[in-house]
Amino acid sequence: LIRREKLPSAKQFKGLIVVALGAVLGFPLLTSWAMERLPASHGAVVVALLPLATAGCAMLRARELPSFKYWVASVVGFLAVIAYAFHLGFGQLQYADFALLAAVILLAFSYAEGGLLARDLGAWQVIAWALVIAVPFIVVPVLMNVTGEILHAPL
């Protein structure tokens, strides 16, 4: 309001919903749930797939076709990460592994969509609008967890 920025169009708003669902809601919720059940090092290995997933989602979203070498390197990298996660999971995939993979995919799609939206809206407006869209889903859980202890938190 202060800067008199224009409101997003209906098409942009749909993209902002994707950003909010992935970056503001889905990724934090899924990774939090998964990391209560997995060691941090295990989570870091699976989340290491994020750059690859983001590149793949951006490529799909922009309708680009990468080279054969890209696909070979991507598949090898993906399989290496999954094999290592499988090894850390003592030979079996756990539900938390699937939550982490879902979180990575959600965040990758939201990053790709946010990148396209940033061309027209600007980067800071994309994340700001995504936060505004997510507020109704965040306010209630936050208020439910506010306690008197918060008032005595050190600076």
Would you say residue 2 lies in a domain?
no
How far is the C-alpha of 100 from the C-alpha of 103, rounded, in Å? Answer: 5
Q: For residues 45 and 104, is the Cβ–Cβ distance under 8 A?
A: no
Would you say residue 3 lies in a domain?
no
Would you say residue 73 lies in a domain?
yes
Would you say residue 4 lies in a domain?
no
Domain coverage including residue 48 = 10-152
**50, two tokens:** 């994020």
Would you say residue 1 lies in a domain?
no
**In this predicted model, what pLDDT tens digit does every residue of 47-86 receive, in sequence order?**
888 988 998 899 888 888 888 998 899 889 888 877 877 7
Residue 30's pLDDT band (cuts 50, 70, 90) = very high
How far is the C-alpha of 45 from the C-alpha of 52, rounded, in Å? Answer: 13
Number of domains in the chain: 1
**In this predicted model, what pLDDT tens digit does every residue of 139-154 receive, in sequence order?**
988 888 888 887 787 8
Would you say residue 48 lies in a domain?
yes
Return the pLDDT at 90: 57
How far is the C-alpha of 20 from the C-alpha of 91, rounded, in Å? Answer: 35
